[in-house]
Amino acid sequence: MSGATPPEPETPAGPPAPPGRRVPRRRLRAPDWGRYATWAVLCWLFTPIAFMALFGFNDISGRQNVAWQGFTLRWYGQVFSYPDLTAALLTTAVVGVLTMLVSGVVGGLLGLALGRYRFRGRGATNLVLFAAVCAPEVVTGAALLSLFLTLNIATGLAAVVLAHVMFTVSYVAITVRVRVMTLDPRLEEAARDLGAGPWTTFRLVTLPALLPAVTAGGLLALALSVDDFVITSFVRGDATTFPLWVWGATRVGIPPQVNVMGTLIFATGVLLAVGNVLLARRRR
Amino acid sequence: MATTTDPAAGARTAGTASDGDGPAIELEGVAKTYRAGRSTVTAVRHLDLAVAPGEYFAVVGPSGCGKTTTLRMIGGFEEPTAGTVRLAGRDVTGVPPDRRDVNTVFQSYALFPHMSVADNVAFGLRRRRVPAAEVRRRVGDMLDLVELTGVASRRPGRLSGGQQQRVALARALVNRPGALLLDEPLGALDPLLRQAMRAELKRLQREVGATFVHVTHDQGEALAMADRLAVMAGGRVRQTGAPAEVYERPADRFVAGFVGAANLLTGTVRTSAGGDGYAAVDLDGGQRVRAATAAGPGARIDLTVRPEKIRIAAAGTEGPDGGANLLRGTVRDAVYQGPATHYTVLVAGAGAAEPVELVVHRQNSAAAGPALRVGAEVRLTWPPEHSHVLGPA
Ligand SMILES: Nc1ncnc2c1ncn2[C@@H]1O[C@H](COP(=O)(O)OP(=O)(O)O)[C@@H](O)[C@H]1O
Ligand SMILES: [Mg+2]
């Protein structure tokens, strides 16, 4: 699209183009709204993140990190200077990784069963999965708390992991189920045909095919767990996660270390996502 | 090829086609009914089939007649609802696919997408714990045989359809199975490649000497490739035999119409067969022809004449056609096909009887006379041995 050439008048009913010289069809010269809209949405999404990252470099004194004072790398050096913040971050990491692993395995198997087999209660299980995704977190959190209290399960770290698995397992199961349903059943038959038993077939053919979906679901579970505030706050007991610590700190002012950690968490998430995409591409 | 002259070959696969003279594959009274919810579909009604060791056997029939189901019961992916499947004399009913000495080339190829071509081909050997060095050698030989050495390290997704098909073949054949089952192996290829792969498949079968069971809906493919073929319809075998046998002497109307083109005629026996074995038959159109049949006078029979058995000539050019069947008619349609011209000839009935349309193929050979025009009066002649009488359909 060169804007330099003067627009020729359109001649739709004119004589046909002389043979050998193809007349290019002129495109409508409208502003490219689609592209602008995409950039606008991207800006809208990334501006808060950019600000968070930027204020991790803010050279402030005191605890109010609201106005730009100048550039420093100080907070990156002192990122672990609040022991309880560091502990909260660690708790979040432990809870997140455990959630990812348990949800990945349980959700993966659930997705496999739902996508592959017809069994009694399959419809109900599907419904429950979607209900778990759709239910408002406040409701889930409150319900879990009363459940834990009724069953005499102590609130705290273990309860938080249990709760996180409960609300993230659906995402893994749904992701994996879709993959299972698009998986050619002939692949597994071919493996059996070539002498592989049921378990070898699963290990060498089914699992590699499902792994990208399981990984994607697991990463989603990790992201949801790291970021969860509402459900965690119900069942936390005396455990504190990163989001809960940040919320508690708002009253006294959020130190720039939080921005630094936030930036690092975001960067980790992006790296994991990109890594998963690259791995999936290499597998094709 | 190196692969076929390997002394260690036969030792590993127990019960291959080569032991004993019994059939490599035998189906006896096999039936299969699928249950889909509350309704049932009978895919195979009653099947008796025997495939000899080393034979190139084709199963041909229209779509939905139960060919794939039959193959899947031999491979072990479906259990028959009735009957027995025997491989090299052993009853394998209930034996899972990984413990049957047959390999399948799936219609969709079903190549493992996350493995290289070489790993795909090595899959079966590794499952049987063949030593790594031997795996490497046999995979290499097999890739040579199907001319895929250059793409050994690629993923199947990056190959053309023809190459994928050869990977599927190599992956199955490298195990030296007692029988190779092929489900529409050429179905996904474009017509030109399909033609080339016919010869390629035959060459492979000759070189490895395995029993091949080739399922197809393309009767031309079955005729061209098979040593013997079974024509299936509606979950049953209608006829089994060598291609020429099935083509020249179809068992019933269905086989006659499905395998090649055929003129189907019905009539009544007028006088039973004389000393030469031919009976006089009055066609329903009133024409009289002679055909070999044991039926007595008054019996209703179906007979068929293949279009290329009929001689067509302009009326008035009487030739020495002593003893031949003779019909007179008018050219209704002429379709030039290159090597041959296909004529549709309307043979008038006697009195109020319906006229009969016959299709005649005439070779456009050097000896052929001038082309016949639409509307030309012609005479059709064929020796009575080519009026083939059909059994009940
Ligand atoms: N898994 C199945 N469940 C139910 N019906 C089936 C199944 N597989 C095949 N059929 C039915 O069985 C019949 C024969 O199918 P198939 O063996 O695939 O025929 P072909 O390979 O000759 O086209 C068809 O009517 C088909 O719809
Ligand atoms: Mg089929």
- The domain spanning residue A203 has which CATH number? 1.10.3720.10
Number of separate domains in chain A: 1
Q: What is the rounded average pLDDT of the residues B139-147?
A: 92
Q: Which residues of A227-253 are buried (b: 16+ CB within 10 A; e: fewer)?
A: ebeebbbbbbeebbbbbbbbeebeeee
In a domain, A85, yes or no: yes
Distance CA B218, CA B216 (A): 5
Q: For residue B362, report the distance from its CA to the centre of ligand 1, in Å.
A: 40
For residues B99-112, give the mean pLDDT. Answer: 94
Specify the pLDDT at position B26: 94
- For the Cβ of B65 lying below 6 angstroms from any atom of ligand 1, the answer is yes
Contacts of B345 (CB under 8 A, 6+ apart): B312, B329, B330, B331, B332, B357, B358, B359, B360, B378, B380
- Domains in chain B: boundaries: 25-255, 261-390
Chains A, B: CB contacts under 8 A, how many?
64
Percent of chain A with pLDDT over 70: 89
Distance CA A263, CA A224 (A): 16
Shortest distance, CA B323 to any CA of chain A (angstroms): 58
A281 touches chain B (CB under 8 A): no
- Is the Cβ pair A186, B128 closer than 8 Å? no
> Angle CA(B311)–CA(B312)–CA(B316) in degrees, nearest 5?
120
Backbone dihedral angles phi then psi of residue B152, each to the nearest 5 degrees: -55, -35
Q: What's the residue count for chain A?
A: 284
pLDDT for position B322: 65
Q: What's the ipTM?
A: 0.82
Common-topology check for domains B25-255 and B261-390: no
- Chain centroid to Cα A64, Å, comes to 31
For ligand 1, atom 13, name the residue with the nearest CA: B43
Residues of A in contact with B167 (CB under 8 A): none
Q: Which among A34-43, A124-133, A201-210, A245-254 has the top mean pLDDT?
A: A201-210
Q: What does the block give as tokens for A160?
A: 């938080």
Among A193, A197, A208, the residue with its CB nearest the CB of B104 is: A193
Query: Would A174 be classed as within a structural domain?
Result: yes
Whether ligand 1 lies within 6 angstroms of the CB of B37 is answered as no
Task: Check pLDDT > 50 for residue B10.
Answer: no
Nearest CA among A117, A104, A122 for reference residue A176: A104
Note whether A194 contacts B124, CB cutoff 8 Å. yes
User: What DSSP character marks residue B347?
Assistant: E
Mean pLDDT of B366-387: 87
A51 located within any domain: no
Range of the domain at A156: 74-283
Q: Which residues pair with B305 in a beta bridge?
A: B263
Mutation target vs B (from A193, A206, A283; most B CBs, 10 A cutoff): A193
The position carrying tokens 């977190």 is A137
Q: Using CA positions, which residue lies closest to atom 10 of ligand 1?
A: B43
pLDDT given at position B5: 41
Which residues have C-beta within 8 Å of that of residue A182, sequence separation ≥ 6?
none
Q: Is residue A131 part of a domain?
A: yes
Does residue A129 lie within any of the structural domains? yes
Between chains, do A189 and B104 touch, taking CB under 8 Å as contact? yes
Residues of chain B contacting residue A282, judged by C-beta atoms under 8 Å apart: none
| Residue from A29, A92, A30, A63 nearest A268 by CA | A92
Contacts of B182 in chain A (CB under 8 A): none
Instruction: Summarize pLDDT for B44-77 with one digit per residue, the tens.
Output: 999 999 999 999 999 999 999 999 999 999 999 9
Return the CA Rg of chain A: 26
pLDDT for A57-113, tens place per residue?
Answer: 988 887 778 888 888 888 898 888 889 999 999 999 999 999 999 999 999 999 999
A190/B106 touch (CB, cutoff 8 Å), yes or no: yes
Distances in whole angstroms, Cα of residue B45 to Cα of each of A59, B358, B379: 84, 34, 45
Residue B143 CA to ligand 2 centre (angstroms): 27
The two tokens of residue B36 are: 């889909």
Q: How many CB atoms lie within 10 A of CB A42?
A: 10
Mean pLDDT value of segment A252-274: 90
User: In this predicted structure, what is the pLDDT of residue A178?
Assistant: 92
For residue A155, the model assigns a pLDDT of: 87
Tell me whether residues A284 and B127 touch, CB distance under 8 A.
Answer: no
B129 close to A (CB below 8 A):
no
Lowest mean pLDDT among A150-154, B199-203, B252-256, B285-289: B285-289
Distance from CA of B121 to the nearest CA of A (A): 10
Cβ separation B128–A200 shorter than 8 A: no
**What pLDDT is attached to residue B350?**
66
The better pLDDT of the pair A202, A277 is held by A202
| pLDDT given for residue B321 in this prediction | 61
Question: Which residue from A194, A204, A284 is facing B103, i.e. has the nearest CB?
Answer: A194
Q: Which of residues 175-194 of A touch B (CB under 8 A)?
A: 184, 186-187, 189-194
- Hey, is the C-beta of A197 within 8 angstroms of any chain B C-beta? yes
Scanning the structure block, which residue is given the tokens 């495109």? A27
Which pLDDT score is estimated for B273? 79
The two three-digit tokens of residue B119, written as one number: 């790993």
Could you give the CA distance from residue A125 to residue A143 in angstroms, rounded to a whole number? 19
Distance CA A25, CA A27 (A): 6
What mean pLDDT comes out for the span B261-286?
86
Residue B167, judged by CB atoms within 10 A of its CB (0-12, 13-18, 19+), counts as buried
Q: Is the pLDDT of residue A163 over 60?
A: yes
Kindly state the tokens that stand for B3: 């692969």
Q: Does the pLDDT value for residue B364 go beyond 60?
A: yes
Instruction: Give CA–CA dist A88/A94, Å, rounded.
Output: 10
User: Do residue A189 and residue B97 have CB atoms under 8 angstroms apart?
Assistant: yes
CB burial string B50-60: b at 16+ within 10 A, e below: bbebbbbbbbb
β-strand pairing of B388-390 with B300-305: antiparallel
* Span B261-390 CATH architecture: Beta Barrel (2.40)
Got the DSSP string for B75-112?
A: HTSS--SEEEEEETTEE-TT--GGGSSEEEE-TT----
In this predicted structure, the answer to whether residue A12 has a pLDDT above a threshold of 60 is: no
B63 C-beta closer than 6 A to ligand 1? yes
Residues of chain A contacting residue B176, judged by C-beta atoms under 8 Å apart: none
Chain A interface includes B157 (CB < 8 A): yes
Backbone angles phi, psi at B283, to 5 degrees: -70, 160
Q: Does A63 touch chain B (CB under 8 A)?
A: no
Look up residue B206 and give its two tokens.
Answer: 């000759």
Q: Which of A60-64, A193-197, A240-244, B249-253 has the lowest mean pLDDT?
A: A60-64
Give CA–CA dist B205/B207, Å, rounded. Answer: 5
Share of chain B above pLDDT 90, in %: 57
Higher per-residue pLDDT: B19 or B145: B145
Name the residue in chain A with its Cα closest to that of B124.
A194
Cα–Cα distance, B111 to B120 (Å, whole number): 7
Residue A150 pLDDT > 70, yes or no?
yes
Predicted confidence band of residue A5 (pLDDT cuts 50, 70, 90): very low
The pLDDT mean for chain B works out to 88
Percent composition of chain A: helix, strand, coil (DSSP 3-state, to 5): 70, 0, 30
Domain B25-255: which topology? Rossmann fold (3.40.50)
Residue B335 has pLDDT above 80, yes or no: yes
Q: Are B105 and B174 in contact (CB under 8 A)?
A: no
Is A238 a domain residue?
A: yes
Q: Residue B292 is encoded by which pair of tokens?
A: 């070999």
Closest chain A residue by Cα to residue B111: A187
Beta strand ranges found along chain A (DSSP E):
none
Closest CB to A192: pick one of B96, B114, B175: B96
Q: Distance of CA A247 to CAs A172, A241, A258, B133, Å?
A: 28, 10, 11, 63
Q: How confident is the model at residue A8 (pLDDT cuts 50, 70, 90)?
A: very low
Q: How confident is the model at residue A210 (pLDDT cuts 50, 70, 90)?
A: very high
pTM value is 0.79
pLDDT of residue B352: 65
Q: Which two tokens stand for residue A99?
A: 């959630």
Closest partner residue to A197 among B98, B111, B157, by Cβ?
B98
Q: Identify which of B277, B338, B327, B276 has the alpha carbon closest to the alpha carbon of residue B305.
A: B327
Q: Where are the alpha helices (DSSP H) in chain B?
A: 9-12, 67-75, 117-127, 132-145, 161-173, 191-208, 219-225, 243-248, 253-258
- Which chain A positions have a beta carbon within 8 Å of B103's beta carbon? 193-194
A193/B113 touch (CB, cutoff 8 Å), yes or no: no
Tell me the CB-side half-sphere exposure of residue A23, using CA atoms within 13 A: 13
Residue A203 sits at the chain B interface (C-beta within 8 Å)? no
Using only the alpha carbons of chain B, give its radius of gyration: 25
Q: Is residue A28 domain-resident?
A: no
Reported for B139-147, long-range contacts at CB under 8 A and 24+ positions apart, including other chains, are B139/B174, B141/B1, B141/B2, B141/B3, B142/B3, B142/B170, B142/B173, B142/B174, B143/B117, B143/B118, B143/B170, B144/B1, B144/B2, B145/B1, B145/B3, B145/B170, B145/B173, B145/B204, B145/B207, B145/B208, B146/B170, B146/B204
In B37-76, DSSP assigns E strands to 39-51, 56-60
Q: Is residue A100 part of a domain?
A: yes
pLDDT tens digits, one per residue of B172-204: 999 999 999 999 998 888 888 888 889 889 998
- For the CA of B67, the closest atom of ligand 1 is 22
Single-letter amino acid, residue A191 = A
Interface test with B, best of A118, A188, A192, A194 (most B CBs within 10 A): A194
